[in-house]
Amino acid sequence: MEPIIIQSSSHSYAIHIGENIRYDLSHYITKKYSSILVVTDEKVADLYLNDLIQVLPQSNIYSIIVPVGEQSKSMEQFHRIQTKAIESHLDRESLIIALGGGVVGDLAGFAAATFMRGINYIQVPTTILAHDSSVGGKVAINHKLGKNLIGSFYPPKMVVYDVNTLQSLKKKEVRSGYAELVKEALIANKSFFHTLLNTNLNHIDNFKLIDHLKKGIKIKAKIVEEDEKEAGIRKYLNLGHTLAHALEAELGYGTITHGEAVALGLLFALFVSENHFNNKLPLEDLKKWFQSNKYPFQLPALNPEVLMAKMKSDKKAVNNNIQMVLLKEIAEPCVIEVDDNALYFQLQAFLEYIQVKIRN
Ligand SMILES: NC(=O)c1ccc[n+]([C@@H]2O[C@H](COP(=O)([O-])OP(=O)(O)OC[C@H]3O[C@@H](n4cnc5c(N)ncnc54)[C@H](O)[C@@H]3O)[C@@H](O)[C@H]2O)c1
Ligand SMILES: O=C(O)C(=O)C[C@@H](O)[C@H](O)[C@H](O)COP(=O)(O)O
Ligand SMILES: [Zn+2]
């Protein structure tokens, strides 16, 4: 299958997508590296680490396994990886491989961006969500006060996406990944959005999956090529994330998945868009699709004031003013500075709309 090529400011890189291509990794890695450090998590290590180690080209291969989940995007795990890299004598001609979902990708990518001021890394994504996280070079760890607040823009040298690894994902992770696909469709492709709304997440074969992943990646690729460092249109990829990141931080990282939070955030973005532009968007249809595919809506009671404060630590905020990505129409995104008071009341109304209790 022809790779998708992305031109970044420093280099161009290929995204290879296909069935069982993890076994071809050594074929894709043409450069001779002095050593390779594979970063993965406990679950992915059990499933796929040996497959990779067996096919990697040379002898100085090391691995480090982090705990499963969002909490590993932490200073502690970042420091563990750096220690492992130093103790294993990685040098500037070494490579890091991120084998896993978005957590591993963001964490290992940030480690690669900072080890000896930056060494090469390759993304080997193993979740549907990671079609998004492995592309575009945003790498980061979390801070207690906000998501991804410590990070960099540091594109990978290559992405090798073996869709067969996605067969072992739990339903929850399938839902999570599809929320980002819905986001990409909403910002750029109306017919893709309708295709997704007609997709039952319990019945997706590899053919359909590859088609959806490629469509999503192409939307993202076009945007990041034009605006790698988010000075303008890359903000559109943050549709739904203003509330999503606030929810993730407020509920405790890992309590709901990133994609589940994005799903709620997308509904909120449509809710605010309808009020702001006095337009009609497929809010109710999308809510029904999320519900029929069992996205979790049962959240503990939430305090809108606390969520507002968290939304202010969003990276899009300027001078403590919240900026949201809204939709004038499907595939017509824009970034709007929203008034605090108005947003507060809309957040209250939205929580009622999705039947989440309000806590004082
Ligand atoms: N950098 C970006 O542009 C970007 C984009 C979107 C999301 N993200 C980040 O990505 C993270 C979420 O990524 P995620 O949803 O992949 O989470 P994740 O990496 O935690 O993976 C989800 C779960 O699936 C398991 N898993 C991974 N691959 C598996 C497989 N093939 N089979 C079975 N289980 C598997 C993991 O062990 C984990 O328990 C968040 O931190 C989010 O902020 C970053
Ligand atoms: O690539 C981007 O740009 C995105 O915004 C993709 C998002 O799905 C992703 O969750 C990203 O990490 C959020 O970025 P942040 O800058 O708000 O942390
Ligand atoms: Zn996201």
> CATH number of the domain that 255 lies in?
1.20.1090.10
Nearest atom in ligand 1 to the alpha carbon of residue 130 is 16
- pLDDT for 217 equals 98
Measured distance CA(306)–CA(308) in Å, rounded: 5
- pLDDT for 146 equals 85
Domain co-membership, 221 together with 317: yes
Check whether 360 has a pLDDT greater than 90. Answer: no
> Does any domain span residue 213?
yes
> Does any domain span residue 196?
yes
- Averaged pLDDT of the chain: 97
> Does any domain span residue 97?
yes
Select from 133, 168, 203 the last residue of a domain. 168
- pLDDT for 53 equals 96
Q: Please give the distance, rounded to the nearest whole angstrom, from the Cα atom of residue 18 to the centre of ligand 3.
A: 23
Which of these ranges, 33-37, 56-60, 65-69, 117-121, has the smallest mean pLDDT?
56-60
Domain co-membership, 26 together with 60: yes
Check whether 2 has a pLDDT greater than 80. Answer: yes
Nearest atom in ligand 1 to the alpha carbon of residue 42 is 37
> Does any domain span residue 271?
yes
- pLDDT for 57 equals 79
Domain co-membership, 14 together with 163: yes
| 234 classed as catalytic | yes
**Residue from 15, 22, 133, 209 whose mutation best tests the ligand 1 pocket (most atoms within 8 A of CB):** 133
- Residues lining ligand 1, judged by CB closer than 6 Å? 41, 43-44, 47, 68-70, 73, 100-104, 106, 126-127, 129-130, 132-133, 136, 138, 148, 165-166, 168-169, 173, 176, 180, 257-259
> Does any domain span residue 160?
yes
Check whether 144 has a pLDDT greater than 90. Answer: no
| 258 classed as catalytic | yes
Domain co-membership, 159 together with 232: no
Name which of 182, 284, 193, 194 is nearest 241 in CA terms. 182
**What integer is the mean pLDDT of 6-33?**
96
> Does any domain span residue 35?
yes
Question: For the segment 233-251, what is each residue's pLDDT rounded down to a tens digit?
Answer: 999 999 999 999 999 999 9
Check whether 58 has a pLDDT greater than 80. Answer: no
Q: Please give the distance, rounded to the nearest whole angstrom, from the Cα atom of residue 87 to the centre of ligand 3.
A: 33
Domain co-membership, 161 together with 197: no
Question: For the segment 78-110, what is each residue's pLDDT rounded down to a tens digit?
Answer: 999 999 999 999 999 999 999 999 999 999 999
Select from 117, 133, 168 the last residue of a domain. 168
> Does any domain span residue 180?
no
| 138 classed as catalytic | yes
- Residues lining ligand 2, judged by CB closer than 6 Å? 132, 136, 138, 147-148, 180, 230, 234, 237-238, 241, 315
Measured distance CA(215)–CA(341) in Å, rounded: 38
Binding residues: 102-106, 126-127, 138, 147, 180, 241, 258
Q: Which contiguous run of DSSP H or E holds residue 302?
A: none
Could you give the residue ranges of the DSSP H alpha helices within 198-237? Answer: 206-226
Domain co-membership, 163 together with 232: no
Q: Which listed residue (173, 180, 228, 260) is catalytic?
A: 180
Question: What is this model's ipTM?
Answer: 0.99
**Ligand 2 atom 6: residue of nearest CA:** 237
> What letter does residue 58 receive in the DSSP assignment?
S
Check whether 122 has a pLDDT greater than 90. Answer: yes
| Lateral strand order in the sheet of 120-125 | 4-7, 12-18, 158-162, 120-125, 95-100, 36-41, 61-66
Domain co-membership, 214 together with 122: no
Q: Please give the distance, rounded to the nearest whole angstrom, from the Cα atom of residue 285 to the centre of ligand 2.
A: 25
The CATH number of the domain holding residue 59 is 3.40.50.1970
- pLDDT for 324 equals 98
Measured distance CA(63)–CA(6) in Å, rounded: 28
Per-residue tokens: 292: 């029929």
Domain co-membership, 134 together with 222: no
Look at the pTM and tell me if it is higher than 0.95.
yes
- pLDDT for 20 equals 97
Measured distance CA(93)–CA(258) in Å, rounded: 34
Per-residue tokens: 18: 């296909």
How many structural domains comprise the chain? 2
Q: Which CB contacts under 8 angstroms, 24+ apart, belong to 280-289?
A: 281/327, 281/329, 281/330, 282/193, 282/197, 282/330, 285/197, 286/182, 286/197, 287/354, 289/196, 289/197
Domain co-membership, 74 together with 206: no
Question: For the segment 319-346, what is each residue's pLDDT rounded down to a tens digit?
Answer: 999 999 999 999 999 999 999 999 999 9
Domain co-membership, 48 together with 133: yes
Q: Please give the distance, rounded to the nearest whole angstrom, from the Cα atom of residue 127 to the centre of ligand 1.
A: 6
Domain that includes residue 331, residue range: 187-353
Check whether 205 has a pLDDT greater than 90. Answer: yes
**What integer is the mean pLDDT of 9-30?**
96
**How confident is residue 11, by pLDDT bands cut at 50, 70 and 90?**
very high
> Does any domain span residue 178?
no
Q: Please give the distance, rounded to the nearest whole angstrom, from the Cα atom of residue 238 to the centre of ligand 3.
A: 7
Check whether 5 has a pLDDT greater than 80. Answer: yes
Domain co-membership, 18 together with 62: yes
Q: Are 209 and 163 in contact (CB under 8 A)?
A: yes
Question: For the segment 295-319, what is each residue's pLDDT rounded down to a tens digit?
Answer: 999 999 999 999 999 999 899 999 9
Domain co-membership, 117 together with 209: no
Select from 137, 168, 199 the last residue of a domain. 168
Residue 67: φ, ψ to 5°: -60, 155
